[in-house]
């Protein structure tokens, strides 16, 4: 086996040093009743070439492949990824390193993560971003738990019904067993978060909204923030498409106390939903309540600038059950990816790309409107929108488009029974006008 | 870390087994941590203290000290109301390292001033550490 | 101005200290649609990012990478972290176009390849642990623990039993108590015995009607096998509790120990340790949970099942604890772990465990006269030494560790587990050859000699890294977390 360097002679020599007669004898401290019986029922080992063959077969049974145009976002977006990022990520100095606990030989990771934190904080308009969480869903759950810590005696939080349904499910999983109460706020008539019930909900530690929300609708975060703050709750902004903040006001300038979401669209492939990136940022006053790793600037003994993991007393390896979270790892290489992507785009590029995404989705929405699609809400959207084909059955159209290599939208009934038969479309810079026109033509047929 | 003979013990203060000291001022008591405690902790980087006006029972946790890689809980030696917290520690937690007996953490109005008599004298505290 | 250069270990400023407004580092398509009209009142300025060219970005990160140490550079004997070699082919397989491009919400019929891979990985992990129910969603070991504790809570609730405490040995990782606390359990520490392992009597004294169960890492963080695990599990079960196996160290016992036969009800595996996926400078990892048949109904949803030759995602499980990830966990990590398991097969997975233990035993034996052993018992995949030898020279474990850097090694884990004073915890892993180990052993001996001859060498170390020791106190007192 090519990953195991030991020759039989070396094994014999090493066994002699440790005073054992066989490899089995090394395990003498294991009682019989704990031992594995027989051989593990696993398939035969494959050579590297057989393994490649096996993966080629797995790829072939995917009836939607990389050449398809998948017009779905819903928390997993397709954007172009420059080859320069792929090449840099394959550097094993980044990829095969552990958490930077020895800063003298991990300055590459540490400076990279410090830059990630800084660019993320600037993007979201927040004071401090951490070194990342698992994904947008757990980041939201952790944000709510953080707000409950800050709110001390408060035990209730509210989340908008227009937040990604899976994020809300994860929040329920995280908050349930500790006895916290979770309230869902309704989706208003324009597909935006409806806060009218806020006054009747009693003391809330936090209210979380998503923008752009699950329907692609851009929320009026400033207005929501004011109302939420008036109620005495912390204001949490969730997101699944950070590119939007290249065009729209960021959470910080709208008053958010915590901003968190999914960063997959910054340079990571969809990869069946992972690995992605939980971006997490807050106001400075809350930093000691923050979950997750943080990198900070300092000096070495010769006075040179360097970076270290810091404020670790918040974390589980020191504070154990009183830690701000049980999280230990971060999505390290994904955070590096996002930083590389933000650096490659630059401020100018980010604004341009965000605008391009806006225009494409806008065009698609209008084009489908012209051929009988009914745009459900008049609210502004980014990248995604909901459309209904009331007069035609969209099923056969969708089948024809699939045969042409286009996956046309996501049936919302899966997540919102009241919206069954309505479709959530996701359009990015990867979708040419010709593809959008093709969809419209097929609807018109 | 200091050797035992280098440790300072302030006479006249009373001590707890958790290494807090209590000193008596005009109308109130002052609470800090001993030289031994600051030496064990190493560089203190953050102090978390309660709000003024908060009331704690004897032995109740009222705050924490943090070094780079450790957290130490602070327990009130004598029950009472927090009348003042040392605001200088927000920016300068290192004062605890440089002058542990001159740096009080909180001033309290004791509920029962008699409780102070139950605490260790400097001698008794020294003996406890010597084990 | 030209300042003194650092030779080939080049200096490199922060991203925003370079670049010029108007540069572009990636290709952006020209617009082929008419411009839309975004509502002005919602629009912002966009972030203050530097504008860089593609060359700027490539040089920046290539220079940064030169300051990092990874497994591909050399031995990384970081105890409890299992820094084994990460096979290159697995990274490429994770980038298989149809798999890397798969959207997580496509219809099941469109993603049979991804589902098949997940199903087969579930089957493999079930085979390795002997625990038939598997959920791949948890994104890391700590999230696997959380899922496990959620399962404990749900199982007890379903039986109508209210339990508020959980037993956790004093040698456990900090994630164990933190994960338990998230589920509302109060951790009760159990002291390990004089031999470094748990004694049934200690558990007997603590396991009561209010205790939900016990979390055990086996082999434990001292690198010792918990030989009494079965007795302890029987005792906990008899009193209505459950046994959680933290599988962080499963790499030591694959095909040798059956977690199911040990009496474990729930176990998470760290795919980034045992199954060789790269650590990525901190993540992503993956922490699937494996459970007994009795606990299977409580597993998170969705789960991949096979029926009539088709792979499906099952959501409809009324007892399920819910969902812990937006989609299917860190799928690209699952792909790599699956590829590793298929490359190894049962025979070489077992062989990997045997050689991991052989390497640790060889190191222990070769160093036991140089460094004081914490516990003189047969070790598994890692061995732990104490700092008793260092006091006379006024040199610390930290100094020793930093000196290893000057010799081109990543230091071992230090000051953990907490029960060993000044612990030095060495895990060589099976992918290090005998000559690598011999070189490492010789280096450790040389440093110990240096501690006698010239302790200042240790106190000043490292002197051959990008930077010398960093001021962590300064970083924590005046946090500067954002540039």
Quick: pLDDT tens for A371-418.
999 998 999 999 999 999 876 689 999 999 999 999 999 999 999 999
Cβ separation C401–A102 shorter than 8 A:
yes
Closest B-chain CA to A318: B70
CA C176 to CA C2: how far, in whole Å? 52
Do residues A22 and A15 lie in contact, with contact meaning Cβ atoms separated by under 8 Å? yes
Banded pLDDT at C314 (limits 50, 70, 90): very high
Banded pLDDT at C2 (limits 50, 70, 90): low
Closest B-chain CA to A319: B71
**According to the model, what pLDDT value does residue B1 have?**
80
- If you compute the radius of gyration of chain C from its CA atoms, what whole number of angstroms results? 25
Closest B-chain CA to A308: B68
CA C386 to CA C436: how far, in whole Å? 23
Read off φ and ψ for residue A139, nearest 5 degrees: -60, -40
Do residues C311 and C108 lie in contact, with contact meaning Cβ atoms separated by under 8 Å? yes
Min Cα distance B84 → chain C (Å) is: 23
Residue A387: HSE in the Cβ half-sphere, 13 Å Cα cutoff: 31
The pLDDT tens digits for A358-370 are 999 999 999 999 9
State in Å, rounded, how far the first CA of chain C is from the last one. Answer: 23
Cβ separation A40–C187 shorter than 8 A:
no
CA A79 to CA A70: how far, in whole Å? 11
Q: Does C477 reach chain B within 8 Å, measured CB to CB?
A: yes
Picking from C482, C118, C130, the residue whose alpha carbon sits closest to that of residue C329 is: C118
Min Cα distance B38 → chain A (Å) is: 17
**According to the model, what pLDDT value does residue C241 have?**
98
Q: Does B45 reach chain C within 8 Å, measured CB to CB?
A: yes
C-facing residues of A in 392-431 (CB < 8 A) are: 407, 410, 429
- Pick the residue with more confidence: C250 or B131? C250
**Residue of C32, C47, C299, C414 for testing the chain A interface, max A β-carbons within 10 Å:** C47
Low-confidence residues of chain A: pLDDT under 50:
none
Cβ separation C476–B46 shorter than 8 A:
yes
Facing residue for A343 by CB, picked from C32, C52, C68: C52
Cβ separation B46–A288 shorter than 8 A:
yes
How open is the CA angle A253-A254-A255, to the nearest 5 degrees? 90
- With a threshold of 0.90, tell me whether the complex ipTM lies above it: yes
Cβ separation A312–B69 shorter than 8 A:
yes
Q: Report the neighbours of B using a cutoff of 3 or more CB pairs below 8 angstroms.
A: A, C
H/E stretch holding C167: strand C165-169
Do residues A368 and A387 lie in contact, with contact meaning Cβ atoms separated by under 8 Å? yes
B-facing residues of A in 275-294 (CB < 8 A) are: 288
Q: Does A91 reach chain B within 8 Å, measured CB to CB?
A: no
Min Cα distance B69 → chain A (Å) is: 6
Picking from A428, A421, A419, A439, the residue whose alpha carbon sits closest to that of residue A215 is: A419
Banded pLDDT at C4 (limits 50, 70, 90): low
Banded pLDDT at C1 (limits 50, 70, 90): low
The pLDDT tens digits for C38-57 are 999 999 999 999 999 999 99
Cβ contacts of B16-19, under 8 Å, gap ≥ 24: B16/B75, B16/B77, B16/B119, B16/B120, B17/B120, B17/B128, B18/B74, B18/B75
Q: Is the pLDDT of residue C7 over 90?
A: no
Q: Does C238 reach chain B within 8 Å, measured CB to CB?
A: no
Low-confidence residues of chain B: pLDDT under 50:
none
Q: Is the pLDDT of residue C101 over 70?
A: yes
CA C372 to CA C448: how far, in whole Å? 12
Closest C-chain CA to B3: C394
Do residues A220 and C42 lie in contact, with contact meaning Cβ atoms separated by under 8 Å? yes
3-state DSSP call for residue C171? coil
Cβ separation B71–A312 shorter than 8 A:
no
CA A267 to CA A250: how far, in whole Å? 20
Q: Is C72 exposed, middle or buried (0-12, 13-18, 19+ CB in 10 A)?
A: middle
Tokens coding A325? 């979270």
Tokens coding A425? 């479309």
Cβ separation B46–C472 shorter than 8 A:
no
The pLDDT tens digits for C206-249 are 999 999 999 999 999 999 999 999 999 999 999 999 999 999 99
Distances (CA, A) of B70 to A21, A296, B47, C91: 45, 18, 12, 38
Min Cα distance A236 → chain C (Å) is: 18
CA A323 to chain centre: 23
**Residue of B43, B65, B70 for testing the chain C interface, max C β-carbons within 10 Å:** B43
Inter-chain contacts counted by CB atoms under 8 A, chains B and C: 14
The pLDDT tens digits for C75-85 are 999 999 999 99
Facing residue for A18 by CB, picked from C184, C361, C467: C361
Tokens coding C479? 């946090």
Q: Does B18 reach chain C within 8 Å, measured CB to CB?
A: no
In chain C, residues with a C-beta closer than 8 Å to the C-beta of B68 are 472-473, 476
Q: Is the pLDDT of residue C278 over 80?
A: yes
Going along A65-205, which residue ranges are E strands?
A: 69-70, 128-129, 156-160, 181-185
CA C322 to CA C146: how far, in whole Å? 12
**According to the model, what pLDDT value does residue C234 have?**
98
Across A220-244, b (16+ Cβ under 10 Å) vs e yields bbeebbebbeebebbbbbbbbbbbb
Cβ separation A58–C99 shorter than 8 A:
yes
Do residues C50 and C19 lie in contact, with contact meaning Cβ atoms separated by under 8 Å? yes
Cβ separation C357–A27 shorter than 8 A:
yes
Banded pLDDT at C5 (limits 50, 70, 90): low
In chain A, residues with a C-beta closer than 8 Å to the C-beta of B66 are 313
Closest C-chain CA to B67: C473
The overall pTM is greater than 0.80: yes
Cβ separation B71–A319 shorter than 8 A:
yes
Mean pLDDT of chain C: 95
In 10 A of CB A191, how many CB atoms? 20
Do residues C24 and C51 lie in contact, with contact meaning Cβ atoms separated by under 8 Å? yes
CA C288 to CA C139: how far, in whole Å? 8
Cβ separation A108–C333 shorter than 8 A:
no
Tokens coding A134? 């698992």
Do residues C387 and C404 lie in contact, with contact meaning Cβ atoms separated by under 8 Å? no
The pLDDT tens digits for A431-443 are 999 999 999 999 9
In chain B, residues with a C-beta closer than 8 Å to the C-beta of C473 are 43, 45, 68
Q: Does C473 reach chain B within 8 Å, measured CB to CB?
A: yes
């Amino acid at each position: 086996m090519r990953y195991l360097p030991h020759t039989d002679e070396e094994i014999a020599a090493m066994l002699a040093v440790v005073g054992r007669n066989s490899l089995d004898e090394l395990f003498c401290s294991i009682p019989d009743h704990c031992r594995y019986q027989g051989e593990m029922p696993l398939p035969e080992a494959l050579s590297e070439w057989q393994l490649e063959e096996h993966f080629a077969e797995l790829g072939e049974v995917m009836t939607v492949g990389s050449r398809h145009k998948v017009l779905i976002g819903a928390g997993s977006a397709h954007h172009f990824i420059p080859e320069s990022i792929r090449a840099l990520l394959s550097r094993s100095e980044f990829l095969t390193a552990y958490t930077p606990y020895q800063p003298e030989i991990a300055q590459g990771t540490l400076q990279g993560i410090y830059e990630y934190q800084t660019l993320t904080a600037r993007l979201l308009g927040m004071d401090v971003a951490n070194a990342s969480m698992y994904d947008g869903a757990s980041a939201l759950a952790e944000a709510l738990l953080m707000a409950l810590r800050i709110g001390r005696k408060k035990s209730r939080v509210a989340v908008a019904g227009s937040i990604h349904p899976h994020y809300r499910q994860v929040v329920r999983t995280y908050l349930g067993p500790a006895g916290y109460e979770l309230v869902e706020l309704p989706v208003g008539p324009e597909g935006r978060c409806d806060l009218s019930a806020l006054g009747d909900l009693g003391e809330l530690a936090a209210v979380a909204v998503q923008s752009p929300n699950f329907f692609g609708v851009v929320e009026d975060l400033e207005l929501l923030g004011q109302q939420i703050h008036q109620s005495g709750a912390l204001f949490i902004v969730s997101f699944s498409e950070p590119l939007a903040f290249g065009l729209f006001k960021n959470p910080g300038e709208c008053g958010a106390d915590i901003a968190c979401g999914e960063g997959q669209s910054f340079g990571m492939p969809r990869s069946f939903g992972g690995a992605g990136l939980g971006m997490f940022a807050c106001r400075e006053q809350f930093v000691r309540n923050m979950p997750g790793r943080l990198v900070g600037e300092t000096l070495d003994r010769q006075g040179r600038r360097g970076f270290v993991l810091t404020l670790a007393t918040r974390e589980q390896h020191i504070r154990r059950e009183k830690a701000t979270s049980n999280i230990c790892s971060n999505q390290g290489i994904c955070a590096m990816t996002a930083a590389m992507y933000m650096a490659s785009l630059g401020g100018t590029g980010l604004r341009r790309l965000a605008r391009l995404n806006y225009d494409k989705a806008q065009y698609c929405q209008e084009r489908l409107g012209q051929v009988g699609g009914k745009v459900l809400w008049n609210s502004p959207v980014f990248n995604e929108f909901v459309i209904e084909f009331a007069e035609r059955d969209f099923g056969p159209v969708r089948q024809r488009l699939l045969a042409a290599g286009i996956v046309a939208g996501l049936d919302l009934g899966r997540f919102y029974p009241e919206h069954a038969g309505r479709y959530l479309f996701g359009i990015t810079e990867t979708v040419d006008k010709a593809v959008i026109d093709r969809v419209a033509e097929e609807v018109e047929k | 870390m200091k050797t035992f003979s280098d440790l300072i013990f302030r006479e006249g203060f009373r001590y707890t087994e958790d290494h807090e000291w209590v000193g008596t001022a005009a109308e109130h008591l002052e609470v800090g941590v001993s030289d031994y405690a600051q030496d064990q902790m190493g560089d203190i980087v953050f102090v978390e203290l309660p709000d003024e006006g908060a009331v704690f029972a004897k032995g109740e946790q009222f705050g924490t000290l943090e070094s780079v890689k450790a957290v130490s809980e602070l327990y009130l030696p004598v029950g009472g109301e927090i009348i003042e917290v040392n605001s200088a520690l927000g920016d300068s937690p290192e004062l605890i390292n440089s002058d542990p007996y001159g740096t009080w953490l909180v001033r309290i109005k004791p509920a029962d001033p008699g409780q102070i008599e139950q605490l260790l004298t400097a001698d008794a505290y020294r003996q406890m550490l010597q084990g | 101005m030209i300042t003194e250069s650092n030779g080939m270990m080049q200096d490199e400023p922060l991203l925003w200290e370079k670049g010029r407004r108007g540069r572009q580092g990636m290709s952006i398509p020209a617009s082929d649609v008419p411009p839309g009209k975004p509502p002005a009142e919602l629009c912002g300025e966009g972030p203050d990012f530097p504008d860089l060219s593609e060359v700027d970005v490539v040089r920046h990160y290539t220079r940064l990478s030169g300051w990092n140490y990874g497994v591909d550079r050399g031995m990384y004997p970081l105890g409890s972290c299992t820094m084994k070699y990460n096979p290159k082919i697995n990274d490429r397989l994770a980038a298989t176009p149809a798999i890397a491009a798969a959207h997580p919400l496509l219809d099941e019929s469109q993603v049979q390849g991804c589902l098949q891979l997940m199903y087969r990985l579930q089957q493999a992990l079930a085979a390795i642990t002997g625990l038939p129910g598997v959920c791949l969603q948890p994104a890391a070991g700590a999230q696997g623990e959380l899922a496990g504790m959620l399962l404990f809570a749900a199982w007890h609730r379903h039986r109508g039993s209210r339990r508020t405490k959980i037993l956790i040995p004093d040698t456990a990782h900090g994630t164990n108590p933190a994960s338990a606390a998230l589920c509302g359990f109060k951790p009760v520490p159990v002291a390990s015995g004089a031999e470094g392992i748990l004694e049934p009597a200690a558990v007997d004294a603590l396991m009561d009607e209010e205790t939900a169960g016990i979390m055990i890492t086996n082999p434990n963080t001292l690198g010792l096998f918990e030989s009494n695990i079965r007795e302890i599990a029987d005792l906990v079960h008899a009193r209505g509790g459950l046994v959680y196996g933290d599988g962080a160290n499963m790499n030591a016992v694959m095909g040798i120990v059956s977690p199911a036969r040990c009496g474990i009800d729930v176990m998470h595996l760290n795919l980034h340790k045992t199954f060789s996926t790269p650590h990525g400078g901190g993540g992503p990892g993956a922490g699937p949970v494996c459970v007994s048949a009795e606990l299977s109904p409580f597993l998170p949803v969705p789960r991949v099942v096979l029926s009539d030759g088709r792979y499906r995602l099952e959501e409809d499980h009324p007892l399920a604890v819910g969902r812990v990830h937006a989609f299917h966990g860190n799928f690209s990590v699952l792909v790599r772990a699956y590829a590793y398991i298929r490359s190894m097969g049962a025979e070489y997975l077992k062989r990997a465990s045997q050689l991991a233990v052989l390497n640790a035993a060889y190191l222990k034996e070769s160093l036991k006269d140089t460094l004081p052993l914490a516990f003189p018992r047969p070790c598994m995949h890692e061995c732990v030494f104490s700092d008793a030898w260092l006091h006379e020279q006024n040199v610390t474990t930290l100094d020793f560790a930093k000196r290893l850097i000057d010799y081109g090694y990543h230091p071992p884990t230090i000051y953990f587990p907490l029960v060993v004073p000044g612990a030095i915890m060495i895990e060589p892993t099976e992918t290090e050859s005998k000559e690598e180990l011999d070189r490492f052993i010789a280096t450790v001996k040389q440093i110990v000699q240096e501690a006698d001859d010239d302790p200042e060498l240790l106190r000043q170390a490292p002197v051959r890294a990008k930077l010398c020791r960093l001021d962590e106190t300064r970083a924590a007192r005046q946090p500067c977390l954002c540039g």
